[in-house]
Chain A
Amino acid sequence: MITRANSPVRGWRGRIFAAVGFFFVIVFITFVLTLIITDVFYIDKKAVVTAITSNFIRHALWLSIWTSFTTTSIALLFAIPMGYTLSRFRFPGRTLVDAIVDLPIIFPPLVAGLTLLVFFSQSAMGRWIQENTGIEFVFQPKGIVLCQFVVAASFAIRSAKTAFDDVERRYENVALTLGCTPWGSFWRVSLPLASNGITAGGILTWARAFGLFGPLMIFVGSFRGRTEVLSTTIFLEQSVGNLEVALAVALVMILVALIALTIIHLVGGSTQVKL
C-alpha cells in the first residue's frame, strides 16, 4: 500500500503525478503477464508431459542451468578484481579499456559466436590452444560456457565497477589507519559495501547467459544430448512444427528463471549491505 508520506507530491497534483508512473508500470506488467498467460492457454497437457519426460529436453535443461551458473561464477571471478581496478586506479589507456569492457554489451550477440568460431577454427592461436591444452570449445559443451562468458561477463564487470565507484574511498582510508593492509581493506570494507551492485551484476550475467541463443547456434551448434540448451531446444522444436512443445520448454525457462531470480534475490537480500 502506498502511503501519503511515501508519495513525492501531495494533493491532486501528486495523485496525477503518481498515476502517470503507475500507468506505465501497469501497462508493462500487463503486457508481460498477457504473453505468459497466452502461452499457458495455448499449450496442452500432452506437450508439457512430452517436454518434461523427454531425456533430450531434461539434458538441455540441466546443461542450461549448469553452464549459466558456471559462466556467472567465472564472470564474477573476473568482474570483482577488474571492477575494483577500473574504479580505483588511473592508468594510461584506461578509457580504451573501459570501452573494450563495454563492447560485448553493445555488439550483436551473433557477432560473438562468429568471432569465437573464426578464432578457434581459423586462427593459428585458437587452433594451438585447442590442440595443446586439450580443451576443445568448437561444437563442445565447454564452448557454451566460453560463448556465454564473452557475451555476458561485461554486465558483471560494469556492475562491479559501478558498485566500487559508489564505495567512498574514505572507508578504505580509515581501514588502512585502523590496521588493514590494502588487501584487508578490500576484503573487510570495499567488497562487503559493493556486494549489492556485484549481486545485481551477477543476476544480469546469469540471465543473459541462461537465455543465450544466437551465438551458441554458430559456435557450438545444437546437437541433441550434447550442446543443446533450452533456448536452442525451443528453436529446434519450433522449426519441426512442435509449437506446443516449444512453448512448454519456453514456460520451463520462464519458471526456472523466476525460481533462480527469487533465490538470488532472497540470498542476496539476507547478506547484502544496506547503505
Chain B
Amino acid sequence: MIRTDRLSFRIGDFQLLQFSLEVAQGQYFVLLGPAGSGKTIFLECLCGLRKIDLGQIYIDGHEVTHLEPRARGIGYVPQDYALFPHLSVERNIVFGLRVRGYQRKDVIARVTEIVDLLEIRHLLSRRIDGLSGGERQQVALARALVLRPKVLLLDEPVCALDEATRQDICAELHRLQHQLGLTTIHVSHNLEEAFSVADKAGILGEGKLQQVGSIDELLRKPQNEFVARFMRCENIFSGEVVSPGPLPKSTTVQYAQTQLVVPGQHQGRIKFMIRPENVLLLASDRHNDPVDNKLRVKLIRVRDCGNYVRMELKGTIDLVAHLSHAAFTELKAKRQSDLVAVLRRENIHVFPT
C-alpha cells in the first residue's frame, strides 16, 4: 500500500498541490495526465529523488518521506527504462542485488526466478544497445522486480513501443502484477493503457489530482470539464436552468436555441456532457419517448477511426457521435444527410458545481 498525504512540491512555475492519494495493497493504479502535468515529478517524489516541500508519504503504513531512495522499498522503471548501457543485460538485472551485498547463491536464485517469470533467460548475455524496445522494457522490469519491492512505479512504461508490442506488454504487466500481488502505480498519457491494465485510475492536471475512480467512473461521471475532455468527451455544454423538468428529478436547461432535459435538480448555470458513443442517431423522427431530447442535425463529416466511426453533426447544437461500423452501415447516412440525434437524459452527465 502506498499513500500520500497532502504532498506538495514546487519547481519553477510548476507545482503539485496538496496531492493526497491512496493505492491499496495489490492494486494496479494508473495515473493519467497530459504531457507536462507532473506525472514523472510525482513518481520522483515518491521515489525520494525529489525532496517534497510539504506532506507525507507512507508505504505499507510506514512513513518514508525523509528516507533515501534506496531505503523506501520502491521498484522504479523510468521512462525509456534507463538501462545502464555499459553493462550487459545480466549485470543490469543483478545490479541492485550486488549493490546491496547479496550472497552469490541468493543472487543466482533471485535472477533465475525473475528471468523465468518474465521469460527473458535468452537475453542475459546480450548488450543493451542490441535490444528491441519490448526487450528493454522487460529487462528494466526484471531489474526493478528482482529486489522484490513493496511498490512498483512505472513511468510511461510502454510509450516508446509500437501498438502491437504495447498491447502485449500491457497484458504481460497486468498478468505479472496480479501474479505477484504487487502494488503498482503506472503513469501514462495514454487512455488505452489505462483501459487494459487499471484497477483504478486518477487524472492529474494543472498540478492537482482532478479525480480518482474506476475507469467507468472517469468516463461516465467525470468531476469536471478537464477530466471529461481528457477522457475524450467532446460534447460538453454550458446552459441556463429554465425550469424543473417534465419528470421528477429532472431539469430543463436552455442551451443555444434548444431546451434540453437533464437528470437531477439544478439551479442557475450548469455544465453538462454526453459521451459521443451515447449519442443515438436515427434516420428519421421515429423515436417515441417524449421526454428524451431530440435534435435535428446534419451530418457534416465522417471519419473512420478503426474500431468506430466518428461523425460530426451540425444543428441547433453541434455534436460529435461515435458509432460502431455495423450501426453506421445500418444508418445508411452520407455527408449532408439529415438525421435525428437522441440524447437520452440518463446518458447526460451534469458536472458537480
Contact = CB atoms under 8 A, between A and B. Distances in A.
A273 B91 CA distance: 14
Given A178-B99, A178-B147, A179-B99, A171 B84 contact: yes
Contacts of A174: 76, 78, 82, 84
Interface stretch (B66-74, B160-168, B271-279): B66-74
B69 A177 contact: yes
Contacts of A178: 70, 95-96, 99, 143-144, 147
Contacts of A181: 68, 70
B332 interface: no
A114 B182 CA distance: 68
Given A175-B99, A177-B72, A275-B85, 11 more contacts: A173-B69, A174-B76, A176-B48, A176-B49, A176-B68, A176-B69, A177-B74, A178-B96, A180-B99, A184-B99, A274-B129
Interface in B8-64: 44, 47-49
A179 B70 contact: yes
Contacts of B99: 175, 178-180, 184, 188
A170 B144 CA distance: 14
Interface string B79-110: 11010111000000001100110000000000
A173 B44 contact: yes
Contact of B82 (A168, A188, A273, A275): A168
A45 to B, nearest CB: 49
A193 interface: yes
Contacts of B80: 170
Contacts of B147: 178-179
Interface residues of B, number: 26
Interface of B: 44, 47-49, 68-70, 72, 74-76, 78-80, 82, 84-86, 95-96, 99-100, 129, 143-144, 147
Nearest to B127: A274
A184 B100 CA distance: 11
Chain B CB count within 10 A is highest, among A170, A176, A177, A274, for A177
B85 A274 contact: yes
B70 A180 contact: yes
Contacts of A275: 85
Nearest to A189: B84
B136 to A, nearest CB: 13
A192 interface: yes
B82 A177 contact: no
Nearest to B101: A179
A166 to B, nearest CB: 12
Contacts of A192: 86
A171 B49 CA distance: 12
A174 B141 CA distance: 12
B79 to A, nearest CB: 8
Contacts of B75: 177
A245 B177 CA distance: 77
A273 B100 CA distance: 24
A11 B207 CA distance: 53
Interface string A85-118: 0000000000000000000000000000000000
B132 to A, nearest CB: 18
A150 B100 CA distance: 41
Chain B CB count within 10 A is highest, among A173, A178, A188, for A178
A275 B241 CA distance: 63
A170 B85 contact: no
Interface in A156-208: 168, 170-171, 173-181, 184, 188-189, 192-193
